[in-house]
Amino acid sequence: MAVPSKILSTLSTILCLFTALPAALAQAPLCERLFVTPSAQFKSDIKGRLSPQVYEDVLFRVDQLLESLGPLPKGYQVTLKNHYGQGAKHIFGSRQIEFTEIHTTYQKFTGREDPHLTLPILAHEYSHAYFETAMRKLSPLWEKNSSFLDMPFGDPQLKKDIATKISVYHEFFADLVPAILFNNPRAMVEALQFHESSPPLQTIKFRDWSVYDPSRDLAHLKEIFQTQNSDISYIYLTPLRRSLWNEVSKLHSHDDLKGFLQKVVETFAHDYQQRADSGSFSFTRMNTELEQAFQRKALHWTDN
């Protein structure tokens, strides 16, 4: 039996009131996605501190922001795991995304819990799926190398080298999406500093999109790279963050932000195609050349 439209409208309003996120975390109202499911299937292995609706809404909002990069391959699954797990991860070959809620260490520092800090991390991991999908379409060398990484055989050292270079682009983009989604250049920093599986704080601070100063921070960055105490792929393109965030601040409409992210991916695809062919991934040269590429692109962020 068909549900009368008036009843359906009333139900949508009631559900929206019960599921809306705090204003500080939500740029778009949840009401827009009632009765619409995200591209990936969400499931929970535990009873979370937030409702499945809240997590599904983050997935849906990422879908909307990155839809021009998709569609995602069928079969993606996002799973909320027990909080004793290893943080969050995207298992590319099996199209699995796993994440945990942040609460234990946050409670130690502040005396209260805030599982909403988990949401930027979920957006980060889900963005990897769209980025990988788009890069495989736009760069033949990316497709070739990523497919090689998916294989169960191959030289381990070669695989590690390829994965490190690919991760540099991946982690930059996956940090950019939650910063835009929650309108907060420190979204990942604020989440990760309280996560049980976080990398060292000296690495986390360089994932802020708004504060990098080369006169103060460049020497410290290079020191981290030399010690190799952490995964440098997350911060290898840190010098690009502040200038790119300045461009984000000039964009206001949802369509402009979608177009901006698409052009970031296109720039990365072109850059990787050239670097993978030449083998030039030096820190200074890569950051300098990508910044120049983004500066040339800045005049056309909103062009269709």
**Strands of the 89-91 sheet, one edge to the other:** 41-44, 77-80, 96-99, 89-91
Number of Cβ atoms within 10 Å of the Cβ of 276? 19
215 band by pLDDT with thresholds 50, 70 and 90 = confident
8 A C-beta contact, residue 294 and residue 246: no
Q: What is the pLDDT of residue 190?
A: 86
Classify residue 30: in a domain, yes or no.
Answer: no
Residue with tokens 């299937």: 41
Classify residue 20: in a domain, yes or no.
Answer: no
Q: Is 56 helix (H, G, I), strand (E, B) or coil?
A: helix
Classify residue 103: in a domain, yes or no.
Answer: yes
- Number of domains, the chain: 1
Classify residue 9: in a domain, yes or no.
Answer: no
Classify residue 115: in a domain, yes or no.
Answer: yes
Angle between helices 238-248 and 214-227 (to 10 degrees): 140
Determine the Cα–Cα distance for residues 106 and 114; give it in Å rounded to an integer.
7
> In the numeric block, which tokens belong to residue 258?
């979608």
8 A C-beta contact, residue 121 and residue 102: yes
Host domain of residue 241: 36-300
Q: DSSP readout, 117-176?
A: GHHHHHHHHHHHHHHHHHHHHH-HHHHHHHHHHHSS-S-HHHHHHHHHHHHHHHHHHHHH
Q: What is the pLDDT of residue 27?
A: 42
Classify residue 139: in a domain, yes or no.
Answer: yes
**pTM surpassing 0.85?**
no
pLDDT tens digits for range 191-207: 887 665 555 666 788 99
> In the numeric block, which tokens belong to residue 115?
């599982």
Q: Which of 253, 255, 250 is nearest to 298 (CA)?
A: 250
Classify residue 256: in a domain, yes or no.
Answer: yes
Classify residue 255: in a domain, yes or no.
Answer: yes
Number of Cβ atoms within 10 Å of the Cβ of 37? 12
pLDDT tens digits for range 76-113: 889 887 654 445 666 666 678 888 776 544 545 555 66
Q: Which of 239, 101, 105, 107 is nearest to 168 (CA)?
A: 239
User: What is the identity of the amino acid at 147?
Assistant: S
pLDDT tens digits for range 56-68: 999 999 999 999 9
8 A C-beta contact, residue 204 and residue 224: no
pLDDT of residue 1 exceeding 60: no
Q: Mean pLDDT, the chain, as a whole number?
A: 80
